[in-house]
Structure 1
Amino acid sequence: MARVQASETLIPRQVFEVPSIEASGKQRVRSGSTTSKSSSNVSGVQLKKQIGLLDGVAIIVGVIVGSGIFVSPKGVLKFSGSIGQSLIVWVLCGVLSMVGALCYAELGTMIPKSGGDYAYIGAAFGPLPAFLYLWVALLILVPTGNAITALTFAQYLLKPFWPSCEAPIEAVQLLAAAMICVLTVINCYNVKWVTRVTDIFTGTKVVALLVIVGAGVWYLFNGNTEHWNKPFDGGLQSPGYIALAFYSGLFSYSGWNYLNFVTEELKDPYKNLPKAICISMPVVTVIYMITNIAYFSVLSTEEILSSDAVAVTFGDKMLGYMSWIMPFAVACSTFGSLNGAIFASSRLFFVGARNGHLPAAISLINVNCLTPIPSLIFLGALTLLLLFIEDTYVLINYVSYVEALFTLISVSGLLWLRYKQPKTERPIRVSLILPVIYLIVCLFLVISSCSQSPFEVGIGTIIILSGIPVYYLTIHHPVNWLADTSQAINIWCSKFFICMPNQEKFD
C-alpha cells in the first residue's frame, strides 16, 4: 500500500481569512490513487456534498427536537410561574432562535466552511477566540451533551422493563454505550445512512408529538378547560427568573445552528442553508407551542412541576395501556437527535484539526467513505468516558451560559465583518436590526445569569480561560515533543484508517 503522507501539525497559512465565494470542483480520490500537488493547484480527498434541502431540514428538526420537549417543559413553567407566561416564553424562544438562525445563515453563506461558530469567530476575531470556543466544546459542551442524550435514550427505552422503579445504572450505561458505538459506526461508514436515520427518526418523533397534540385536543373538546381559567396567575416578573425561563426554553431549541457545522457537505449551500432554516424553525416553534398547550390542558401546574418526564406523565394519564408509547417516543427522539449531533459536531473537531488547533490526525478523511473517521472515533471515545461520570449534569449547568456567550460573540462577529470587510460578497444579507436584537437579548441572558448563578458562571469562565495557556503551549509556541507525538499519531491513523488529509483546491 502506498505510504500516506501526514499533514503538518500546524498550518502555516492564515486559516481564518474570509474566503471569496466561488464554486470549486470536487474530485473523489479512490483508494490507492495518488494526489498531485503543484504550486498552483491542489486536489484530493474532500468531504462530499450529499445533504439536500429535505435532509438539511431533517437535521435541524431532528437535532432540536430531542428529549427537551418530552422531558423538561417544567423548567420554563417553574421560572415563568404561570402557563400563560410560559407559552409566551416558548414562542419568544422560537422567534429568538429564528433570528439567530438567520444571522447564522448570513455567516454560513459568507464563510462557506464547516465548523459553525468556530469558523465565524475565527474569521472575525482571530485564532485565539476561535480556539477557546473549540476548547470549551471539546472539553464539555459536545461530549457531555451527547452523553446526556445517550443516557436519556437508555433510561426511557428500558422504562417499560422497570415500570415502577429506575433501571439499574449499569444497564443504562451499557445500552447508552452501545447506542453511541452503533451511531459512530453509521456516521463513519456512509453519510447517506446518517441522513436516512435522521429522516426516519425525525418523522417518528413528530408523529409522537402529534399523538400528544391529538389527545390534548380531544381532552379540550370534551369541556376540560379548567386549567385555562386564569392562565397568568402566579407569573414571576423578576429579570433573573425570566432569564432562567428563557434558558430552559432555549435549551429545547438548541441545535438550530448545527447545519452550519456541515456547510461543506450541503448541496448548493447558498440556497439550501437559508431555506432549511426558514422551513424548520417555524415548524419547530409551532410544534412546541401546540404540544405545550396539550400538556397544560391535561396536566395541572402541580403535576407538571412534580414530573421528571412530562410526556410520560401525560401518557400515563391519557393513553392507558398504550402509555408505553411515550417512553418509546422519547427513546426514538433522543436516538435521532444524537445521530444528528454526532454527525454535525464531529465536523467541528475535524475543521479545528484541519486549522491546526487539534492534532492533525483528527482532520483525516477515509479515502473510500469520504468521512472523517478519526474525528468521529475521537468524539465517540470522549462521549463514552463521560457516561461513567456521575455528575455529568452538573457540568452542563457550569457551562450553560457559555453557549449564550459564544453565540453572542459569533453574532458580534457578523457586525464586525460588515464593518471590516464591507465589500465581501454576501449571498444572504439580513436586516441590521436582527443581529442587534439578538445581541441585546443575549447580553441580557449573560448578565442575568451572572447575577442569578454566579458560581456556575465563575466555573464556566475558568474553563474558558484555561484554554489560553493550552493555546500558547500547543498552538502559538508548540512544544517540540508534542508536535512530534502528534505527527506520529497522524501517520499511524493515516495507515490504520486508510485516510488522507483533507485537501482543498487552490487556483
Structure 2
Amino acid sequence: MLLCPVSPGHFYWLEPEHAFHPLQPYDTGRIALTFLQGSFDYAGWNFLNYVTEELIDPYRNLPRAIFISIPLVTFVYVFANIAYVTAMSPQELMASMFLFIRVNGSLFTSFRLFFAGAREGHLPHLLAMIHVNRCTPIPALLFTCISTLLMLCTSDIYTLINYVGFINYLFYGVTVAGQIVLRNKEPDIHRPIKVSSAWPVIFLIFWAFLLIFSLYSEPVVCGISLAIMLSGVPLYLFGVYWENKPKSFNSFVAKLTHFGQKLFMLVYPSEGHEDGNEDKEEAG
C-alpha cells in the first residue's frame, strides 16, 4: 500500500519546486529545529526503555526488540512519508491527523516516568500506587493527563513541539554523557546489557549539533524550555531535599494519600503482589 502512490510514477509533490518553498535562505539553525520537530513524531525509538518491567527476560529480549523494531519501523515510516507526500499537497498534510498515532506510544510510556519517580521518592507516593485488582497506575495516568492538558493551553503547537523537543534531547544528551562517565569511573560494575562506546560518542556529536544550532536559531524558545526544566528545582528542594517538614504538612499529605487510595482503590505494587501471592497459596 505504501508503494501504490509511487509505483505509477506520481512524483509531482516529490519534485523540489513543489515540495519546498522557493527562494528560502539556507539556515543551519532552522535545519536543527527541523530535526527537533521531526523527532517529536519519531520519538518512539526510546519508548522500549520505559517498559522493561513489562518484558520477560528483558536482558535478552530488550536488545532484540530494539534491533528488530527500530529498523523495521524506520523503513515503514520512510515509505509512509513518501506515500503521504506523493499523494497529498503540503496544505493537505498540515490539515491531516495521521501523526495522531504517535500519541499511542506516549500514553503507554510517559506515565511510567512519574510512576518510577514516585517509587524513588522524588514525587508524591500516591503516584507510585496501582489499582488493587487491575494493577493500573491510575494516579500516574491522571497526573500525565492533567499536565498534558496544561501544555495544550498554548495556541502555537509548533512552539510547544520545540519546547518538548529541546527538553527531550537535552535530557537524552545528559543521560548518554552520564553513561560514558560511569564507564570510566565504574569500569567493573555489572552491566547486563553492553554496547560499544562508539555509539554514545556518535550520539553526543549529533546531539551537540542539534542543541547548539537550535539555541542559536531560537534563543527565546530554548530559553523558555530551560526555564520550564529548571522550574522543577525548587519543587525538588521543597519536596525531596527538605526532610524535616512540619508535622501538619506531613499529616495533610498522608490524609490526601489515604483519600486517593480509597477513591481509586489503590495499593503499593509490593502490597498488591503479596496479596496476590497469598491468594494463590490459599487457592492451592
The interval holding the TM-score normalised by the smaller chain is 0.7 to 0.9
Is the 1:363–1:501 contact (alpha carbons within 8 Å) kept by the matching residues of 2? yes
Amino acid at match of 1:294: A
1:271 matched to 2:70? The reply is no
Report how far residue 399 of structure 1 moved.
4.1
Q: Which residue of 2 aligns with 1:240?
A: 29
Partner in structure 1 of residue 39 of structure 2: 250
Q: Contact 2:13–2:86 (CA<8 Å) still a contact in 1? A: yes
Shift of 1:254: 1.1
**Residue 407 of structure 1: aligned partner:** 172
Instruction: Give, in angstroms, the shift of residue 235 of structure 1.
Output: 8.7
For residues 254 and 339 of structure 1, do their structure 2 counterparts lie closer, same or farther at Cα, with a shift above 3 Å needed? closer
**2:165, 2:146 → 1: CA distance?**
23
Task: In structure 1, give the amino acid aligned to 2:155.
Answer: D
Structure 2 residue 21 is the aligned partner of structure 1 residue 215 = no
* Closer/same/farther in 2, CA of residues 396 and 219 from structure 1, 3 Å limit: same
Distance 1:380 1:282 in 2: 31
Q: Deviations over 1:211-235 (max 9, x none)?
A: x531232244xx9698279999979
Q: Aligned pair count?
A: 268
Partner residue, 1:496:
263
Distance in 2 between the 1:495 and 1:225 partners?
57
The unaligned stretches of length 5 or more in structure 1 are: 1-209, 313-326
Shift of 1:365: 1.8
Alignment deviations for residues 156-213 of structure 1 (CA, whole Å, 9 cap, x no partner): xxxxxxxxxxxxxxxxxxxxxxxxxxxxxxxxxxxxxxxxxxxxxxxxxxxxxx3x53
Secondary structure of the corresponding residue to residue 130 of structure 2:
strand
Residue 417 of structure 1 deviates from its aligned partner by: 1.6
Please say if 1:262 is aligned against 2:79: no
Question: Given the alignment, which residue of 155, 159, 162 partners 1:391?
Answer: 155
The counterpart of 2:253, out of the listed 486, 494, 500, is: 486
TM-score, normalised with respect to structure 1: 0.48
Name the residue aligned to 1:477.
Answer: 242
Change (3 A) 1:392 1:248: closer
Change (3 A) 1:297 1:375: closer
Unaligned runs of 5+ in 2: 274-284
Distance 1:311 1:279 in 2: 32
Q: Deviations over 1:374-398 (max 9, x none)?
A: 22223233334555x2526244433
Q: What is the identity, as a one-letter code, of the residue corresponding to 2:203? A: Y
In the alignment, residue 291 of structure 1 is paired with which amino acid? A
Q: Deviations over 1:134-175 (max 9, x none)?
A: xxxxxxxxxxxxxxxxxxxxxxxxxxxxxxxxxxxxxxxxxx
- Report the CA distance between 1:454 and its aligned residue: 0.5
Secondary structure at the residue paired with 1:309? helix
- Dislocated runs of 4+, deviation >4 Å: 223-226, 228-237, 295-299, 384-387
1:441, CA displacement in angstroms? 0.8
What's the TM-score, normalizing by structure 2? 0.81
SS in 1 for 2:3: helix
2:15 aligned with 1:227: yes
Give SS of 2:239's match. helix
The corresponding residue for 1:281 is 70
* Alignment CA distance shift 1:242-1:444 (3 Å): same
Q: 2:279 matched to which residue of 1?
A: none
In structure 2, distance between residues paired with 1:436 and 1:340: 27
What value does the CA root-mean-square deviation take over the aligned residues? 3.1
> Any conservation in 1 of the 2:40–2:161 contact (CA below 8 Å)?
no
Cα–Cα, structure 1 residues 273 and 442, in superposed 2: closer, same or farther, change >3 Å?
Answer: same
Q: Deviations over 1:246-288 (max 9, x none)?
A: 2233222112111211211111111221111111211222123
Aligned partner letter, 1:352: G
Q: Distance in 1 between matches of 2:189 and 2:39?
A: 32
